[in-house]
Amino acid sequence: MSHRPALIDRLAQRTAERAQAQLLRRLRTVEHAEGPWLESDGRRLLSFCSNDYLGLAQHPQLIAALKRVADDEGVGSGSAHLICGHRAEHAALEEALAEWTGRERALLFSTGYMANLGVMQALLQDGDVCVQDKLNHACLLDGTQLAGAELKRYPHADVAGAARQLASRSEAAALLATDGVFSMDGDIAPLRELASLCRREGATFMVDDAHGLGVLGDDGAGSLSALALGQREVPVLMATLGKALGCHGAFIAGSSALIDGLLQSARTYIYTTAMPPALAAAALTAVRVAREEDWRREKLAASIARFRDGARQLSLPLMPSPTAIQPLLLGEAQAALDAAQALEAQGFLVGAIRPPTIPQGKARLRITLSAAHEEEHIDRLLEALSGLALAAPV
Ligand SMILES: Cc1ncc(COP(=O)(O)O)c(C=O)c1O
């Protein structure tokens, strides 16, 4: 009789430990979505937890593009890009994304998670170093591990800390990777300073702009465009299609050398089915709408200002975020959970973010705003928050 640990039992034990620590994750089924309104368990809830920042997920032109191509081409692409899955819709979308972000080329991936894994696995190898902000998204950390490079993290947004980490491996090939807009905090990385550091140190700079594309910069081209950081300063750009663009998927943009290399070496690109062409057509429409409809960014900016003004007046524990992600820092996991439940009882859906997604003692409500919200929605949320007696952790 073997004495090996039983894998599923071990997993069940970990789940039980999470439950005991009040950190169990729960799946919610949404029965219907309409603008910022969701129906779940038969109740209508006003959502402040979606990343559909421009309100494009239900845009009639996106829906029409999806339907048109599905009618013509069917649903699945049927194959990986390099076999016979790469359709005209994918090619057109890649061209539009490259043009929008001011890069030579772009390459589509099925998700942002896969894009980050793929680009890191293709660029990095054993003996290299990858320097990352401590608050980077989980998939950037996982990508380094997959690549077998050494991961060195620096304190959040600390350029001197990043410099120290690079200096500690001054001979190694180095990638410095950061979120452009931090997904759980909403603040923007010191991109210009990090770009200069990378230039001085000969490190390659990579920015994950999942939460910046569509929202920041002239015509929404993202956090790099807002600072006029081109392909020379930031050779590796990743952004997603599933947030402000209201679709699904992601891309890497950069030089022809980068994209040609990914096509040969990025395993999460090579060994997976291409996204449905109808989805690529919807995303292409989303790029056009996001660029043209400036009023969506203006409305979002007005909502951010309204929320922050109101929250300040109520002395709510706001974090220093200029973007659509407006977390309220509450400290203990239970405090965040209690606040989210109290809001839900009043008809609002807000995410409670707890460890290990964020550090211990930094649990928060992650409130996200969208161009789909009206002033009255923001005011109603503020009123509900005012009744909760929320306080920053001491
Ligand atoms: C910063 C960041 N990068 C990457 C991802 C992953 O993108 P996707 O949802 O397309 O896998 C996310 C969130 O989902 C994110 O917040």
Predicted confidence band at 174 (pLDDT cuts at 50, 70, 90)?
very high
* Choice from 140, 240, 251, 358 to test ligand 1 binding pocket (greatest atom count within 8 A of CB): 240
Ligand 1 lined by 290 (C-beta under 6 Å): no
Ligand 1 lined by 118 (C-beta under 6 Å): no
Q: What is the mean pLDDT of residues 152-175?
A: 98
Q: What is the Cα 115 distance to its own chain's centre?
A: 12
Give the whole-number percent of the chain exceeding pLDDT 70: 100
Q: In 148-271, which residue ranges form alpha helices assigned H by DSSP?
A: 159-167, 191-201, 223-226, 256-265, 267-270
Q: How far is the CA of 210 from the centre of ligand 1 (A)?
A: 6
pLDDT at 22: 81
Over residues 335-385, the pLDDT tens digits come to 999 999 999 999 999 999 998 889 999 999 999 999 999 999 999 999 999
Ligand 1 lined by 250 (C-beta under 6 Å): yes
Give the whole-number percent of the chain exceeding pLDDT 90: 94
Task: Identify the active-site residue in 59, 243, 299, 362.
Answer: 243
Ordered structural domains, the chain, with CATH: 26-54+294-386 (3.90.1150.10), 60-292 (3.40.640.10)
Separation CA 163–CA 149 (nearest Å): 18
φ and ψ of 9, to 5 deg? -60, -40
- Closest Cα to residue 56, out of 46, 68, 66? 66
Q: How far is the CA of 107 from the centre of ligand 1 (A)?
A: 16
pLDDT at 40: 94
pLDDT at 15: 96
Q: Is 265 a catalytic residue?
A: no
User: Helix crossing, 159-167 with 191-201: angle to 10°?
Assistant: 20
Q: Whose Cα sits closest to atom 5 in ligand 1?
A: 112
Hey, is 178 helix, strand or coil? Answer: strand
Q: How far is the CA of 115 from the centre of ligand 1 (A)?
A: 9
Q: Is 321 a catalytic residue?
A: no
Separation CA 97–CA 93 (nearest Å): 6
Phi-psi region of 57 (alpha: psi -120 to 50; beta: other; left: phi over 0): alpha
Q: Is 362 a catalytic residue?
A: no
Ligand 1 lined by 113 (C-beta under 6 Å): yes
Position in ligand 1 atom list of the atom nearest CA 241: 10
pLDDT at 21: 86
Ligand 1 lined by 184 (C-beta under 6 Å): no
Q: Whose Cα sits closest to atom 16 in ligand 1?
A: 183
- For residue 394, is pLDDT > 80? no
Mean per-residue pLDDT of the chain: 96
Separation CA 102–CA 209 (nearest Å): 14
Q: How far is the CA of 110 from the centre of ligand 1 (A)?
A: 11
Q: Are the CB atoms for 109 and 118 separated by under 8 Å?
A: yes
Q: Are the CB atoms for 295 and 301 separated by under 8 Å?
A: no
Query: Which of the 8 DSSP states describes residue 366?
Result: E
- For residue 284, is pLDDT > 80? yes
Over residues 76-120, the pLDDT tens digits come to 999 999 999 999 999 999 999 999 999 999 999 999 999 999 999
Cβ neighbours of 170 (radius 10 Å): 10
Ligand 1 lined by 94 (C-beta under 6 Å): no
Q: In 245-353, which residue ranges form alpha helices assigned H by DSSP?
A: 256-265, 267-270, 277-292, 294-313, 333-345
pLDDT at 247: 98
* The pair of three-digit structure tokens given for residue 377, joined into one six-digit string: 């929605």
